[in-house]
């Protein structure tokens, strides 16, 4: 294994900059007898030149100096160590790992030829030396060395994917560990292995297999930062080095991003392929203090992940695996819950702030968990989003809400404004509009008051596709509300271009209305801004009469919150509606 630290560092630069190596200031070690000679050569060079000269004059001193510092170039006067020139040249080149220019007084071609054949970068005539000649020789030797190194590095890049090969990768990992040791940081290593790659090669041919590897490399690169190291360490295997993992971000976050990146199908030879990978994760210092140990443990974890189906990953660390197991269990339970009708839709009424009349409701999902009882979305929505279960779950909620709405319309509640939450992950489903269309039309409901609640993140994700979906759904007569308004990075110019008819002010602002002047100003501002854009405003999380009174004063349109009613099962909501019809305009604050 190659472990030249400088080479590894250069390779890092090469990978990071993806361009030619840049020559910086050149440090030159001058091996001549007298110190005055150093002064003389220094005087020859331009004082503002980027060439720095250092001096030494004895073999032990040379060795010592080279051990402690790297020089870009060595100039050696051949009269020093005249008796064993060739072996000295060899030792010098080896220890310096840099080109050696010989400075001599012989002009016979024989000597020049012999020294150059033995590895000298150039031969300069001492008595024929001009400042220009000296400088030019230094620069050219340096450029030649850099060019050589670069081509050597390129040879070591994987020809197919253009990323590091095994040898460079090993150096890089080794260096990353050394850096982490010095800075007290950690290093993450992820092994990514394509499942059944051999089968792919056999079915589609080796060229198709190569194309797939390139696509995978591209997807991995998209997830990584420029400074992260990526290598192809085997035919169907990649490895990733993440410096600072654990401090700057969590390894689980990165592996989740990989899972997401690999989930999209691959277009290969006009065919759509679904490929899965297995990933193994280990990190320095907890799970290995050397490159070898880390590689071994990440590999072992990867083999554990192979036991799972689909895109999967495992940590070498058992504690983290336990967390992962909990997560996977939750996902499995949720899958069961969707199939087994253990989910239920609750409804929370929305009232007109002016008249206190119930104008509609928000559908909020609940999970009747056999072990833990009734779970609110906080316990499972992010697991559903991570695992893409949010897509079938979202359709289930929509279908149930449509059925309930049809029932309400049949009972004579005709003008209710019903909203359903839509997660940004649901836009990953390329058949979103088609499926929504099918569900709504199967339920045979009047969609005038039907609304989807979106958060800003969903709209900023894949803007073009989202906008396309929103437009198609608007054509079906559906409306959109912006949920949790004020918590994201609102850009009104963006919002104006989206078909949004309502904004919902997040409860965190409403909550602070009673004691924060700033929040009062903010809420008042949000209301008037939304009105100026012709949008209706709903205030979420209204819990006190004071808050409601403030909203009335500032002409907020609608309110939703515990003060009016908590989310409730469908049957309770029907009773709630009947009561409000019997006593229109009389708020049922806190009744249910
Ligand atoms: P959200 O859409 O902002 O829903 C409002 C949340 O505020 C609900 O929490 C509701 O119970 C709670 N809330 C309402 N009034 C008050 C109040 O006066 N005080 C306080 N403290 N809270 C109040 P819930 O039901 O736990 O839902 C949490 C979030 O989960 C929702 O926030 C929504 O983003 C998401 N969610 C709920 N159901 C679904 C669903 O079917 N699909 C998707 N994708 N997300 C859902
Ligand atoms: Mg909502
Ligand atoms: Mg909200």
Q: Which residues pair with 273 in a beta bridge?
A: 266
Output the CA 484–ligand 3 centroid distance in Å. Answer: 4
Does residue 444 lie in a domain region?
A: yes
Average pLDDT of 87-93? 84
Output the CA 395–ligand 3 centroid distance in Å. Answer: 19
The CA-atom distances, in angstroms, between 497 and each of 270, 292, 459, 467, 486 are 36, 54, 11, 9, 18
Distance of alpha carbon 371 from the chain centroid: 35
**Backbone region of residue 24 per phi and psi (left: phi > 0; alpha: psi in -120 to 50; beta: other values):** beta
Judge whether residue 585 has pLDDT over 60.
no
Spatial CA neighbour of 372 closest among 324, 337, 321: 337
The dihedrals phi and psi of 206, each to the nearest 5 degrees, come to: -70, -30
- The confidence band for 21, taking pLDDT boundaries of 50, 70 and 90, is very low
Output the CA 526–ligand 3 centroid distance in Å. Answer: 15
Q: Are residues 264 and 390 in the same domain?
A: no
Distance of alpha carbon 355 from the chain centroid: 48
Does residue 589 lie in a domain region?
A: no
User: How far is residue 272's CA from residue 208's CA, in Å, rounded to a whole number?
Assistant: 12
The protein residue with its alpha carbon nearest to ligand 1, atom 3, reads: 484
Does residue 384 lie in a domain region?
A: yes
**Identity of the highest mean pLDDT range in 17-21, 136-140, 489-493, 551-555:** 551-555
pTM for the whole structure: 0.57
Judge whether residue 464 has pLDDT over 70.
yes
Closest ligand 1 atom to Cα of 543? 18
Output the CA 510–ligand 2 centroid distance in Å. Answer: 15
User: How far is residue 177's CA from residue 57's CA, in Å, rounded to a whole number?
Assistant: 36
The CA-atom distances, in angstroms, between 63 and each of 68, 70, 95, 102, 384 are 9, 11, 7, 17, 63
Q: Which helix H or strand E contains 111, and what residues bound it?
A: helix 109-117
Does residue 321 lie in a domain region?
A: no
Residues with CB under 6 A from ligand 1: 348, 364-365, 376-378, 381, 390, 394, 397, 421-423, 453, 483-484, 507, 540-543, 560-562, 567
Omega of the bond leading into 168 within 30 degrees of 0 (cis): no
Closest ligand 1 atom to Cα of 423? 44
**Which of 266, 291, 316 is the endpoint of a domain?**
316
Number of neighbours of residue 118 by Cβ within 10 angstroms? 15
Q: Please report, for the domain that includes residue 213, its CATH number.
A: 3.30.70.270
Which residues are within 5 Å of ligand 3 (an ion), measured at CB? 483-484, 540
Residue-wise pLDDT for 481-539, tens only, equals 999 888 765 556 667 778 899 999 999 999 999 888 888 999 999 999 999 989 999 99
Q: Are residues 263 and 339 in the same domain?
A: no
In the chain, what is the straight-line distance between the N-terminal and C-terminal CA atoms, in Å?
Answer: 72
Q: Are residues 292 and 344 in the same domain?
A: no
Q: Are residues 352 and 412 in the same domain?
A: yes
User: How far is residue 197's CA from residue 268's CA, in Å, rounded to a whole number?
Assistant: 14
Spatial CA neighbour of 440 closest among 416, 406, 467: 406
**Residues whose CB falls within 8 Å of the CB of residue 554, separated by 6 or more in sequence, listed in order:** 523, 524, 527, 528
- The confidence band for 590, taking pLDDT boundaries of 50, 70 and 90, is very low
**Which of 254, 281, 316 is the endpoint of a domain?**
316
Question: What's the confidence (pLDDT) of residue 1?
Answer: 34
At 477, list the tokens. Answer: 């007569």
User: How far is residue 532's CA from residue 522's CA, in Å, rounded to a whole number?
Assistant: 15
The protein residue with its alpha carbon nearest to ligand 1, atom 37, reads: 364
Question: What's the confidence (pLDDT) of residue 158?
Answer: 63
User: How far is residue 330's CA from residue 336's CA, in Å, rounded to a whole number?
Assistant: 10
Does residue 405 lie in a domain region?
A: yes
Question: What's the confidence (pLDDT) of residue 460?
Answer: 63
Q: Are residues 143 and 282 in the same domain?
A: no
Question: What's the confidence (pLDDT) of residue 254?
Answer: 87
Q: Please report, for the domain that includes residue 114, its CATH number.
A: 3.40.50.2300
> Residue 228 gets which letter from DSSP?
S
**Residues whose CB falls within 8 Å of the CB of residue 220, separated by 6 or more in sequence, listed in order:** 192, 230, 238, 240, 258, 261
Judge whether residue 12 has pLDDT over 60.
no
Question: What's the confidence (pLDDT) of residue 541?
Answer: 96
Residue-wise pLDDT for 30-43, tens only, equals 999 888 889 989 88
Spell out the alpha helix ranges (H) of 340-479: 381-386, 390-410, 432-443, 456-461, 463-475
User: How far is residue 321's CA from residue 56's CA, in Å, rounded to a whole number?
Assistant: 57
At 353, list the tokens. Answer: 């702030």
Question: What's the confidence (pLDDT) of residue 248?
Answer: 58
Q: Which residues pair with 241 in a beta bridge?
A: 189, 229
Residue-wise pLDDT for 302-317, tens only, equals 988 888 888 889 888 7
Residue in the structure block whose two tokens are 């850009």: 491
State the pairing for strand pair 417-421/122-125.
unpaired
At 5, list the tokens. Answer: 């630290």
Output the CA 212–ligand 3 centroid distance in Å. Answer: 42
Q: Is pLDDT larger for residue 468 or for residue 400?
A: 400
**Which of 281, 316, 351 is the endpoint of a domain?**
316
Q: Are residues 146 and 25 in the same domain?
A: yes
**Identity of the highest mean pLDDT range in 274-278, 486-490, 580-584:** 274-278
Residue in the structure block whose two tokens are 């340096």: 142
Output the CA 483–ligand 1 centroid distance in Å. Answer: 10
**Residues whose CB falls within 8 Å of the CB of residue 378, separated by 6 or more in sequence, listed in order:** none
Q: Are residues 400 and 422 in the same domain?
A: yes
Question: What's the confidence (pLDDT) of residue 6?
Answer: 45
> Residue 22 gets which letter from DSSP?
P
Distance of alpha carbon 403 from the chain centroid: 40
Closest ligand 1 atom to Cα of 504? 3
Q: Please report, for the domain that includes residue 460, its CATH number.
A: 3.20.20.450
Per the CB < 8 A criterion, the answer to whether 177 and 290 are in contact is yes
Domain span at 282: 166-316
Question: What's the confidence (pLDDT) of residue 249?
Answer: 67
Question: What's the confidence (pLDDT) of residue 451?
Answer: 95
The protein residue with its alpha carbon nearest to ligand 1, atom 42, reads: 421
Provide the percentage of residues in the chain whose pLDDT is more than 70: 88
Closest ligand 1 atom to Cα of 453? 2
Does residue 81 lie in a domain region?
A: yes
Q: Are residues 237 and 336 in the same domain?
A: no
Q: Are residues 350 and 435 in the same domain?
A: yes
- The confidence band for 592, taking pLDDT boundaries of 50, 70 and 90, is very low
Closest ligand 1 atom to Cα of 376? 26
Does residue 325 lie in a domain region?
A: no
> Residue 49 gets which letter from DSSP?
-
Q: Which helix H or strand E contains 92, and what residues bound it?
A: helix 85-96
Residue-wise pLDDT for 338-377, tens only, equals 988 899 999 999 999 999 999 999 999 999 998 889 999 9
User: How far is residue 185's CA from residue 243's CA, in Å, rounded to a whole number?
Assistant: 8
Does residue 32 lie in a domain region?
A: yes
User: How far is residue 326's CA from residue 295's CA, in Å, rounded to a whole number?
Assistant: 26
Q: For 86, what's the count of Cα atoms within 13 Å in the CB-facing half-sphere?
A: 8
Output the CA 243–ligand 1 centroid distance in Å. Answer: 38
User: How far is residue 268's CA from residue 99's CA, in Å, rounded to a whole number?
Assistant: 48
Q: Are residues 401 and 512 in the same domain?
A: yes
Average pLDDT of 536-552? 95
- The confidence band for 240, taking pLDDT boundaries of 50, 70 and 90, is very high
Residue to substitute in 389, 540, 568, 587 for testing ligand 1 pocket (most ligand atoms within 8 angstroms of CB): 540
Per the CB < 8 A criterion, the answer to whether 427 and 469 are in contact is yes
User: How far is residue 366's CA from residue 547's CA, in Å, rounded to a whole number?
Assistant: 27
The protein residue with its alpha carbon nearest to ligand 1, atom 34, reads: 421
- Ligand closest to the CA atom of residue 452: 2
Residue-wise pLDDT for 404-459, tens only, equals 999 999 999 988 999 999 988 888 788 899 999 999 989 988 888 899 999 876 66
Q: Are residues 418 and 367 in the same domain?
A: yes
Residue to substitute in 334, 344, 350, 364 for testing ligand 1 pocket (most ligand atoms within 8 angstroms of CB): 364
The protein residue with its alpha carbon nearest to ligand 1, atom 11, reads: 567
Closest ligand 1 atom to Cα of 567? 11
Question: What's the confidence (pLDDT) of residue 169?
Answer: 87
Per the CB < 8 A criterion, the answer to whether 572 and 546 are in contact is no
Judge whether residue 574 has pLDDT over 80.
yes
Which residues are within 5 Å of ligand 2 (an ion), measured at CB? 421, 453, 483
Output the CA 264–ligand 2 centroid distance in Å. Answer: 28
Structural domain total, the chain:
3
Q: Are residues 174 and 56 in the same domain?
A: no
Output the CA 483–ligand 2 centroid distance in Å. Answer: 5
Output the CA 507–ligand 3 centroid distance in Å. Answer: 7
Output the CA 84–ligand 3 centroid distance in Å. Answer: 83
Per the CB < 8 A criterion, the answer to whether 537 and 527 are in contact is yes
User: How far is residue 458's CA from residue 488's CA, in Å, rounded to a whole number?
Assistant: 11
User: How far is residue 542's CA from residue 534's CA, in Å, rounded to a whole number?
Assistant: 23
């Amino acid at each position: 294994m190659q472990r030249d630290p400088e080479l590894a560092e250069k390779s890092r630069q090469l990978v990071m900059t993806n361009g030619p190596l840049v020559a910086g200031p050149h440090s030159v070690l001058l091996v001549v007898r007298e110190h005055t000679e150093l002064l003389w050569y220094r005087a020859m060079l331009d004082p503002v030149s980027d060439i720095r000269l250092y001096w030494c004059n004895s073999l032990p001193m040379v060795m010592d100096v080279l051990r402690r510092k790297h020089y870009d170039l060595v100039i050696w006067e051949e009269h020093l160590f005249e008796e064993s020139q060739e072996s000295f040249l060899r030792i010098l080149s080896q220890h310096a790992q840099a080109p050696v220019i010989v400075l001599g007084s012989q002009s016979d071609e024989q000597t020049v030829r012999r020294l150059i054949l033995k590895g000298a970068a150039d031969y300069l005539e001492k008595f024929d030396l001009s400042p220009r000649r000296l400088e030019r020789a230094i620069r050219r030797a340096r450029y030649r060395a850099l060019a050589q190194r670069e081509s050597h590095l390129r040879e070591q890049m994987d020809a197919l994917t253009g990323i590091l090969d095994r040898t460079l990768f090993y150096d890089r990992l080794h260096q990353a560990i050394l850096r982490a040791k010095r800075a007290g940081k950690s290093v993450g290593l992820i092994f990514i292995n394509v499942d059944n790659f051999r089968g792919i090669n056999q079915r589609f041919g080796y060229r198709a297999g190569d194309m797939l590897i390139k696509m995978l490399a591209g997807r991995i690169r998209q997830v990584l930062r420029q400074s992260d190291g990526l290598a192809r360490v085997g035919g169907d295997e990649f490895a990733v080095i993440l410096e600072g993992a654990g401090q700057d971000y969590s390894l689980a976050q990165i592996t989740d991003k990989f899972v997401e990146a690999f989930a999209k199908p691959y277009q290969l030879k006009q065919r759509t392929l679904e490929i899965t990978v297995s990933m193994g994760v280990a990190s320095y210092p907890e799970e290995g203090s050397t490159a070898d140990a880390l590689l071994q443990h990440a590999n072992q974890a990867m083999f554990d992940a192979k036991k799972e189906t689909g895109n999967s990953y495992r940590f070498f660390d058992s504690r983290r695996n336990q967390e992962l197991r909990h997560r996977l269990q939750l996902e499995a339970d949720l899958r069961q819950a969707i199939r087994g009708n253990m989910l239920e839709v609750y409804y929370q009424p929305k009232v007109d702030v002016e008249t206190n009349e119930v104008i509609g409701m928000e559908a909020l999902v609940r999970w009747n968990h056999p072990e833990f009882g009734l779970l609110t979305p906080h316990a499972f929505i992010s697991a559903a989003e991570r695992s893409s279960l949010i897509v079938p779950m979202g359709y289930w909620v929509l279908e149930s809400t449509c059925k309930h709405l049809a029932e309400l319309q049949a009972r004579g509640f005709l003008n209710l404004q019903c909203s359903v939450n839509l997660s940004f992950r649901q836009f990953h489903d390329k058949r979103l509009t088609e499926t929504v269309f099918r569900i709504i039309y199967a339920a045979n409901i009047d969609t005038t008051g039907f609304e989807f609640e979106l958060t800003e993140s969903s709209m900023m994700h894949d803007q073009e596709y989202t906008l396309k979906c929103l437009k198609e759904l608007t054509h079906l007569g559906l409306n959109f509300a912006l949920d949790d308004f004020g918590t994201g990075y609102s850009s009104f110019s963006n919002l104006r271009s989206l078909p949004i008819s309502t904004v919902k002010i997040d409860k965190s602002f409403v909550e602070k209305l009673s004691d924060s002047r700033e929040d009062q100003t903010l809420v008042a501002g949000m209301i008037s801004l939304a009105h100026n854009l012709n949008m209706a405003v709903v205030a979420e999380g209204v819990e006190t009469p004071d808050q409601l009174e403030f909203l009335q004063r500032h002409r907020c349109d609608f309110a939703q919150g515990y003060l009016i009613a908590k989310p409730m099962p469908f049957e309770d909501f029907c009773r709630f509606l009947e009561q409000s019809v019997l006593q229109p305009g009389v708020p049922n604050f806190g009744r249910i």
